[in-house]
Structure 1
């Protein structure tokens, strides 16, 4: 059982188990059909978006840090100015605190929510709106228990976070509803509890997410750190924050789901979407400390509705009309299949794009294809096809998966 749990936390398991769903789909045993003749068209569409977004092809990682720059407002520079008196290690700790809390608040906001940034007067929605709202809350010390050290998230501050505080910070009202407010609060409160349970990761004195910097530096060798080590650390250290779903040997598996069409021992399908998104978002502060991140190609694409919507909207994936006519729970066969097929197809899209540019996986890793990229392309085609840019399939979200 311990071997199975360790396996389900690995990027290799994500790809292998998603591939089994892909094989089921090819056998006509899923709600979807894959039309690989559309692969070239999808790759060309993504390349067009990449050229629009990054004409010099200098593509950064797909991470939370991109959202903090929305509206051409350099909030990261604002943060760096505030942290100017700190040493590089302390700066990285603050950035870990910010990135982890912000990513955990990043589940889908819904089509009717928006955030007006008082500092700029600008209005932002969806993931960028959540990023700016969480950035401003962090900046005002909403996650710190120490008034003298507002720019941190610590165990006491997170455990004492209230639904009212989060709702006020995110400007939630009956006219401005945010999906999953309670789920988001519970997630951050649970984070505060977990920080105290793993001193090897988060420290004994003033446990905080930023103390992960210490641990990850200890896991580096010759100035290099494997991306999969960051993911494994996140899955181990933060695993208990997720709502109880599948538990094996007393361990909460998190973003892992079951598909009954697979053999009993192979039914578990891991995705770890938010954990991988978080991993991608922690790499840049580590690079700023001088670490070289290796093994990026081991991580997978993110199985969420922008990447998955791109495949559906451009015909790479097809589904019966019934799939689009009702809302689906995250543990339904429809959503598990959609997410698994998205993981497989992102790899195929990335490979076609590399072939067209004659680039290797090291030169154009998946994390840059996502940013360049498939996520933006999925949002663009959704906006062209549906009012409000809503995803093609409607999902019942509790604020902790998408």
Structure 2
């Protein structure tokens, strides 16, 4: 294998076209009855659509649906934390505010893997208690405001490489209120991921600046000439190229780390890419979450539907709980699965492909279209919330499958 071959294979796998094409191939295979793990029940897909439509109408009666992004979690409990942050950043120019908001959202998204069922965060200023994704969002917001990720106590509203590299599990535990009776899944993995982010940024000053700030992405991606317009996939491509070394998974082709990209023997593809199923879930979640900071700074982000649905346990759980996907052996629901297990890889792939089919059906039922309701809004309306509602109704909020995660995938 030459370095050029490895580079080319990694570049192909870092595209959402590869995610979609390969997920669709696994869906066709499952529909043909060739999956060892799943049965696709197309007659139950309308039930999933109905669940999504009902939840969307309940959450957004006027159908003025924002993007599915980390910013929704910063608004948990109806508290306008984004407005508060904007007020704290009021002395900065729009570009400076955008850099700070990108700093916040990058770190918060990287900390946003499953919290587990036993952790919560108590917000002192409001008296509210949050758990799961909202809790992680609110906790990371306060940690950012308190300067946990900055190396300069005089400039707390910043994330920089030195600040991340000095972060310890004990410091994160303090900020996130972790204790023996309030355990958070994957603390060591989360801190290791932030350390890797710090190291990666120090090696890419052309993207992250001399201090190594995630907010350097704003300057890197801002068009030098012409209208302030960028494509959503360009944001994702920059993230995948510049941060490929941070992922804890050892998945690689040659010396090219692949991150959230896993082996499945039935996945087609040319050359070295055969058998690899890419997802890039956290990177895409981060891309969705960067749409608003760019937009607030006056940069128009286009091509949103180039991104895919997020293959995580709420979206995937919706399909299982609504019956659109069925396990060939119900006993597998009680089995613990590693993230690289073939069943989990295929579940995630089928989630991506089926939500591409579900989205236009949801729009039709709501009397909307892809222009007014891009996939980012269908997810928010939407599929993620409906998956959570069904999980709460059926299992007290637990996902349908038990996945052993290091805190960086789920």
- TM-score tier by shorter-chain length is over 0.9
Q: Which residue of 1 aligns with 2:166?
A: 160
Deviation at 1:361, TM superposition (A): 1.7
2:17 aligns with one of 2, 9, 12: 12
Look up the SS of the partner of 1:209 in the other structure: coil
2:153 aligns with one of 147, 153, 156: 147
Q: Which residue of 1 aligns with 2:313?
A: 305
8 Å Cα contact 2:232-2:287 kept in structure 1: yes
Deviation at 1:220, TM superposition (A): 7.5
1:129 aligns with one of 128, 135, 143: 135
Q: Which residue of 1 aligns with 2:337?
A: 328
Deviation at 1:22, TM superposition (A): 1.0
2:222 aligns with one of 217, 221, 226: 217
CA distance in structure 1 between the partners assigned to 2:134 and 2:402 by the alignment: 20
Q: Which residue of 1 aligns with 2:293?
A: 285
Alignment of 1:83 with 2:89, yes or no, is yes
8 Å Cα contact 2:45-2:322 kept in structure 1: no
CA distance in structure 2 between the partners assigned to 1:41 and 1:380 by the alignment: 14
Deviation at 1:291, TM superposition (A): 1.4
Tell me whether 62-71 or 213-222 shows the greater mean CA deviation: 213-222
8 Å Cα contact 2:73-2:138 kept in structure 1: yes
Alignment of 1:356 with 2:365, yes or no, is yes
Look up the SS of the partner of 1:119 in the other structure: coil
Deviation at 1:223, TM superposition (A): 2.2
Deviation at 1:243, TM superposition (A): 1.1
8 Å Cα contact 2:201-2:208 kept in structure 1: yes
Alignment of 1:393 with 2:401, yes or no, is yes
Look up the SS of the partner of 1:308 in the other structure: helix
8 Å Cα contact 2:223-2:230 kept in structure 1: no
8 Å Cα contact 1:61-1:367 kept in structure 2: yes
Q: What do the CA deviations read for 1:318-371 (whole angstroms, capped 9, x no partner)? A: 112122021100000110010000001111110111222443322211000000
Deviation at 1:211, TM superposition (A): 1.0
CA distance in structure 1 between the partners assigned to 2:74 and 2:280 by the alignment: 23
Alignment of 1:366 with 2:375, yes or no, is yes
8 Å Cα contact 1:219-1:225 kept in structure 2: no
Q: What do the CA deviations read for 1:273-299 (whole angstroms, capped 9, x no partner)? A: 000000000110100111111111111
Tell me whether 10-19 or 349-358 shows the greater mean CA deviation: 349-358
Give runs of aligned pairs for residues 110-125 of structure 1, distance below 5 A.
110-125=116-131
8 Å Cα contact 1:256-1:271 kept in structure 2: yes
Alignment of 1:226 with 2:226, yes or no, is no
CA distance in structure 2 between the partners assigned to 1:321 and 1:40 by the alignment: 22
For structure 1, the residue ranges without an aligned partner over 5 or more in a row are: none
CA distance in structure 2 between the partners assigned to 1:170 and 1:23 by the alignment: 43
CA distance in structure 1 between the partners assigned to 2:299 and 2:141 by the alignment: 25
Q: After TM superposition, where is structure 1 displaced by more than 4 Å over at least 4 residues in a row?
A: none
Taking a change above 3 Å as real, the CA distance of residues 155 and 231 of structure 1, as seen in their structure-2 partners, is same
2:188 aligns with one of 177, 182, 185: 182
Q: Which residue of 2 aligns with 1:32?
A: 38
Tell me whether 3-12 or 327-336 shows the greater mean CA deviation: 3-12
Deviation at 1:20, TM superposition (A): 1.7
CA distance in structure 2 between the partners assigned to 1:322 and 1:69 by the alignment: 38
Alignment of 1:316 with 2:321, yes or no, is no
For structure 2, the residue ranges without an aligned partner over 5 or more in a row are: none
* TM-score (normalizing by structure 2): 0.95
Alignment of 1:96 with 2:105, yes or no, is no
8 Å Cα contact 1:159-1:192 kept in structure 2: yes
Deviation at 1:219, TM superposition (A): 6.7
Give runs of aligned pairs for residues 53-68 of structure 1, distance below 5 A.
53-68=59-74
Deviation at 1:26, TM superposition (A): 1.7
Q: Which residue of 2 aligns with 1:194?
A: 200
Deviation at 1:218, TM superposition (A): 3.1
CA distance in structure 2 between the partners assigned to 1:263 and 1:226 by the alignment: 27
Aligned-pair RMSD on alpha carbons?
1.2
CA distance in structure 2 between the partners assigned to 1:149 and 1:293 by the alignment: 29
Give the total of aligned pairs: 400
Taking a change above 3 Å as real, the CA distance of residues 278 and 313 of structure 1, as seen in their structure-2 partners, is same
